[in-house]
Chain A
Amino acid sequence: MTNEMTNIVVEVLPRFEGYVYPNEASLHPLWGFLIVLYPYITGLVAGAFIMASLVRVFKVRALEPVYRLSLLTSFSFLLCATLPLLFHLGHPERCFEIMMTPHLTSPMAIFGFVYAWYLMAVLLLELWFDYRQDLVEWAKVTPGFKGIIYRAFTVGVTDESPPAVALDMKMGRILSVVGIPSAFLLHGYVGFIFGSIKANPWWGNGLTPIIFILSAIVSGIALCVFNYMVLTWIRRHTVDMRCLDTMAMFLFYALVVDAAVEGLDWLHRGFAAEEGFSVMQIMIREKLFYTLNLGQVTIGTLLPLLLLGPLQLLRRRVPELVRRRMIFSSAVMILIGVLAMRWNVVIGGQLFSKSLRGVMGYKLEFAGVEGWWLGVVLLSLPFIILTVLVKLFLSERLPSSGHIPQDSAAGEG
């Protein structure tokens, strides 16, 4: 009986089961893979910045080697953060209306300002104050085009007197302090874009922004671990283990908090079992089975917890090579897991009808604006920008955390 009835719907609306509002079939899903990438990239920005601020604000000296790398990572991803949104608009040529004539009750409009604030007032300025003295030095000794770039970035401020350098330091610290709430605001606001949709029981939730912030911190630290290890491998340098272990420690604790809050969210949803809960169960059991249970929970949370947790207790007993591999694979798994989490939120929220009577399918296409090919391009772009920035602005010799490698220590002993 149900099948016959369903068939009537299927004739008109392919890839649907049960009843969905007719308009929900028109462009499905409205927000595709690009909008999955948008919170992912923004989260990496915020997370990498928090990582950098650990050095500046919280004085975690062990992380000194990755301070500038984290800032550059954050910056290069921030430059690309709005691209997925822009590609997705029906009228991209009108995008500046968001800034020129914003509608102040809209989370999306406010995001434009939060983004601009973060890019212009926080990240660019902090990078500039941090680099100014170096830029002046480099401009003196570097010939050719590269020298011109360095000179241009000094913006003519070449004062290297101790008071000027002290002012740089002070401004950098102030900007870092301002930057932490700004990073929270940036990504919390992305979470709010989804959390504010009360029409959608999958999204409309007070915890959504908080979960977005926490998963952003986790993914940002994981990205810094990934970038740092890849960079040292490319440059054939040794990994500073004290720095890496400290990153792994912060990664682990951030992941514990993130997993706890996400678990709490699900506990609450299951316990309250409000109107849309039966549809959500179908999502978990069928529609999002692989990306949620395998991607987000197993690969993105449980396995990294199992790898990083014991490392916190038995760090000294695990050889450095094994530790490096464990931490690197945890970082990669977390990066995959958080991408899966963004997928589950964005795509998952559109796989059921707001009538709560039907579910829909989604097949990611290869080409086109919503295809995965453009997604891969957009996801590679920040890495390309980062490569250029690292070439220009990251010295071959990273600052040391004062760690003595295990092999040489053993040799000396």
Chain B
Amino acid sequence: MKTQYSRRGALSRLGGAIAGLLTLSAARTVKAAVQKVFVASGAPKDYDTTKHKWLMCIDVNKCIGCGLCVEACKKENGVPEGPYFRTWIERYVIPKPEPGSGQTRGETLVDSPNGGMHGFPPTPVPKDQIEHSFFVPKLCNLCEHSPCVQVCPVGATFDAPDGAVLIDPKYCIGCGFCIQACPYGCRFLSPVTKTAEKCTLCYHRITRGLKPACVEICPTQARIFGDLKNAGPDAPIRKFYENNRVSVLKPHLGTEPRLLYAGLDKEVR
């Protein structure tokens, strides 16, 4: 029997194939989106991401550089040994200017030995020559317009509605684009999982009503953490906001961080 080819038949078959392909892609996108919220986050099932907005503030004047936060973070989150940090502390030493130099200050020295995990050695600048010296804890800047999320080719890293910037390790292809795009050096490629890693605000803790490990352990309460959607007038985060004028790192990049600092110096980048 002669096979009958018709334009309509051919077109409908072609249309069916295209529709099938498109549906496949869309289905996988939906699956990925669901995965992102429920699998990667480690949040309990009844946690509603839209009912919270997390904020982290840091009072630079209170940090003593003990490094407990770095250690707690490493232990809590199983951060690999070596130069891999979800949070770290920088020490800034600004010497006095040389007399007659016409400068306001000497050349700033910055260090962070082993991320400041075990504290800091004595500064090489004699005490009487130091103009300012302070510690700056660093972590994910929780950008409102996060460049790392923008560049991820597969959408493995994403802005959770509650303000955390998270990564789905089952989905990350390990290209490193987000690490290049983060202006603050907060991401690294894990040697264990071969995927990108970063601070999650201890998402498994905060979604169960606990504080992040670094906030919990800080002996001077230099790190203040809270939920903007559920903060009463006496909440520490509100008090901090009332009592301080805050600034962010690298504001010229337009990332709008929600990691707010009080007491920063112009040398901090």
A residues lining the B interface (CB < 8 Å):
1-2, 4-5, 8-9, 11-13, 19-27, 30-31, 85, 88-92, 94-95, 97-98, 100-103, 105-109, 112, 193, 196-200, 275, 350, 353-357
Contacts and interface: CB of A to CB of B under 8 A. Distances in A.
Contact of B153 (A98, A196, A275, A357): A98
B185 A103 contact: no
B194 A90 contact: yes
A5 B124 CA distance: 6
Given A108-B151, A198-B183, A357 B82 contact: no
Interface string B111-154: 11111000001001100000000000010000000010011111
A90 B175 contact: yes
B155 A101 contact: yes
A13 B154 contact: no
A356 B224 CA distance: 28
Interface stretch (B25-33, B43-51, B215-223, B225-233): B25-33
B25 A5 contact: no
Contacts of A350: 180
Given A89-B174, A94-B173, 11 more contacts: A12-B83, A98-B154, A100-B25, A100-B28, A102-B153, A105-B150, A196-B151, A199-B147, A200-B180, A350-B180, A355-B185
Interface residues of B, number: 58
Pairs of residues from A and B, 3 with the lowest C-beta to C-beta distance, nearest first? A90-B174, A21-B185, A90-B194
B261 interface: no
Contacts of B206: none
Contact of B114 (A12, A85, A102, A106): A12
Nearest to A99: B25
26 contacts: A2-B107, A5-B109, A5-B125, A11-B113, A12-B114, A19-B90, A19-B112, A22-B85, A23-B85, A23-B187, A24-B185, A27-B189, A88-B175, A89-B173, A89-B174, A90-B173, A90-B176, A91-B172, A102-B154, A102-B155, A103-B155, A108-B175, A196-B151, A197-B147, A200-B180, A356-B269
A98 B151 CA distance: 12
Contacts of B82: 26
Contacts of A356: 269
B182 interface: yes
A101 B29 CA distance: 5
A357 B85 CA distance: 19
B88 A30 contact: no
B110 interface: yes
Nearest to A357: B110
Interface of B: 24-25, 28-29, 32, 82-85, 88, 90, 93, 95, 107, 109-115, 121, 124-125, 138, 147, 150-155, 171-177, 179-189, 191, 193-195, 252-254, 269
Contacts of B29: 101
Contacts of B25: 100-101
B67 to A, nearest CB: 12
Given A101-B28, A109-B154, A23 B113 contact: no
B133 to A, nearest CB: 12
A199 B154 contact: no
Contacts of A101: 25, 28-29, 32, 154-155
Contacts of A100: 24-25, 28
Contact of B180 (A30, A92, A112): A30
Given A25-B83, A91-B174, A197 B188 contact: no
A413 to B, nearest CB: 63
Given A101-B29, A108-B175, A354 B155 contact: no
A219 to B, nearest CB: 24
Interface of A is mostly: loop
A97 to B, nearest CB: 4
A354 B88 contact: no
A9 to B, nearest CB: 5
A14 to B, nearest CB: 10
B84 A199 contact: no
A195 B194 CA distance: 25
B254 to A, nearest CB: 8
A97 B154 contact: yes
Contacts of B171: 94, 97
A30 B179 contact: yes
Contact of B173 (A2, A25, A98, A199): A98
B244 to A, nearest CB: 24
Nearest to A104: B155
A4 B122 CA distance: 11
Given A11-B113, A199-B147, A108 B121 contact: no
A3 to B, nearest CB: 9
B181 A199 contact: yes
A5 B187 CA distance: 25
A366 to B, nearest CB: 21
A4 B114 contact: no
A107 B107 CA distance: 39
Contact of B185 (A11, A98, A102, A354): A354
A326 to B, nearest CB: 40
A356 B249 CA distance: 13
A84 B174 CA distance: 14
